Structure 1
Amino acid sequence: MNIPLIVLVYFFYGLAFFSMGLLVALEGGRSSDIRLRKALRPLAGFGIVHALHEWMDMFGLMGHLSNEPYISGIRLSILAFSYISLAAFGSFLLAYTEISRRLILLIPIGLEAIWVFGLYNFRGQYSGDVLWSVADTWTRYILAMPASLLTAIGLVAQQRAFRRSGLIRFGQDALWAAIVFAWYGLVGQLFTQATPLFPSTFLNEDLFSSLFGFSIQLFRAVMAVGAAIFVTRFLRAFQVETESKIAELQQERLLESQQRESMRGELFRRVVGAQEAERQRIARDLHDETGQALTAIGMGLRGLSGKLPPRNKDALNTLHKLETLTADSLKELQRLISDLRPSHLDDLGLSAALRWYAGRIQEHSDITIRVDIAGEERDLDEAVKITIFRVIQESLNNIIKHSDASHVNIHLQYTDRKVRIQVRDNGIGFDLDQVKLERARRPSLGLAGMEERAALLGGSVSIQSRPGYGTEVEALIPYHNDNYKTQEQASTITGESSSDSERGKQ
Structure 2
Amino acid sequence: MESEESQIVLYITTIVIILFVVLIVLLFSFFQKRKNVLLQEQENNKKRFEREIAETQIEIREETLRNISWELHDNIGQLLTLAKIQLQNTSTENIKEVSDTITKSLNEVRALSKLINPEAIKNIQLKEAIQLEINRFNRLNFIKSTLVVKGKEVAIDKKASIIMFRILQEFFSNTIKHSKASELTVVLNFKEELMIISASDNGIGFSSSEDSPKGIGLLNIVNRAKLIGATAKLSSEINKGTTLLIEYKL
Q: What corresponds to 2:240 in structure 1?
A: 469
1:218-273 per-residue CA deviation (whole Å, 9 max, x = no partner) reads xxxxxxxxxxxxxxxxxxxxxxxxxxxxxxxxxxxxxxxx99x9898556423312
Q: Which residue of 338, 350, 353 maps to 2:115?
A: 338
Shift in Å, 1:276: 4.4
Query: Is the counterpart of residue 271 in structure 1 residue 57 in structure 2?
Result: no
Q: How far apart are the structure 1 equivalents of 2:120 and 2:55?
A: 17
Report the counterpart of residue 402 of structure 1 in structure 2: 178
Question: Once the two structures are superposed, what CA deviation does each residue of 1:145-177 show, in whole Å capped at 9, x if it has no partner?
Answer: xxxxxxxxxxxxxxxxxxx9xxxxxxxxxxxxx
Say whether residues 1:457 and 2:228 are aligned partners.
yes
Counterpart for residue 380 of structure 1: 156
Report deviation, 1:352.
Answer: 2.9
Amino acid at match of 1:384: A
Q: 2: CA distance between counterparts of 1:275 and 1:340? A: 17
- Counterparts of 1:105-504 in structure 2 under 5 Å? 268-276=48-56, 278=58, 331=109, 334=112, 338=115, 343=120, 346=123, 349-435=125-211, 439=214, 444=215, 446-479=217-250
Q: Distance in 1 between matches of 2:146 and 2:247?
A: 20
Q: Cα distance 1:387–1:274, how it changes in 2: closer, same or farther (>3 A)?
A: closer
Q: Shift of the alpha carbon at 1:387?
A: 2.2
Structure 1: 4+ residue segments shifted above 6 A: 261-264, 279-283
Change (3 A) 1:282 1:431: closer
SS of 1:352's partner is helix
In structure 2, the CA distance between the partners of 1:389 and 1:467, relative to structure 1 (3 Å rule), is same
Find the aligned partners of 2:247 and 2:218 in 1 and give their Cα distance: 15
Provide the aligned C-alpha RMSD in A: 4.1
Post-superposition offset of 1:351 = 2.2
**Residues 448 and 470 from structure 1, CA distance in 2 versus in 1: closer, same or farther, beyond 3 angstroms?**
same
Secondary structure in structure 2 of the residue aligned to 1:377:
coil
Rg: which structure is higher?
1
- Does the 8 Å contact 2:181/2:201 carry over to 1? yes
Identity of aligned residues (%): 23
Question: How is 1:27-106 mapped onto 2 (pairs within 5 angstroms)?
Answer: none
Does the 8 A contact of 1:411 with 1:422 survive in 2?
yes
Q: Give SS of 1:452's match.
A: helix
The question of whether the paired residues in 2 share the 8 Å contact of 1:345 and 1:352 is answered with no
Give a deviation string over 1:414-462, Cα, whole Å, max 9, x none.
11222100011110001222126x83xxxx5743332222101111100
Distance of 1:264 and 1:470 partners within structure 2 = 39
| C-alpha separation in 2, matches of 1:367 and 1:262 | 43
From the superposition, tell whether residues 451 and 340 of structure 1 become closer, same or farther in structure 2 (CA, over 3 Å): farther
Report how many aligned residue pairs link the two structures.
173
Q: How does 1:8-19 map to 2 (within 5 A)?
A: none
Q: Which has the larger share of strand?
A: 2
Distance 1:446 1:342 in 2: 27
1:205-230 Cα deviation digits (max 9, x unpaired): xxxxxxxxxxxxxxxxxxxxxxxxxx
Q: Which 5+ residue runs of structure 2 have no aligned equivalent? A: 1-18, 20-37, 66-101
Separation of aligned partners in 1, 2:117 and 2:179: 24
Residues 126 and 165, structure 2, Cα contact 8 Å, conserved in 1? yes
Q: What TM-score comes out, normalization by structure 2 length? A: 0.56
CA distance in 1, matches of 2:44, 2:233: 21
For the Cα contact (< 8 Å) 2:142–2:176, is it kept in 1?
no
Letter of the 1:406 counterpart:
S
Q: Structure 1 residues 396 and 278, CA, compared in 2 at 3 Å: closer, same or farther?
A: closer
Following superposition, the deviation at residue 477 of structure 1 comes to: 1.4
Letter in 2 for 1:351: K
1 or 2, which has the higher helix percentage? 1
Higher relative contact order (CA 8 A, sep 6+): 2
In the superposition, the TM-score normalised over structure 1's length comes to: 0.29
Structure 1 residues 473 and 380, CA gap change in structure 2 (3 angstroms): same
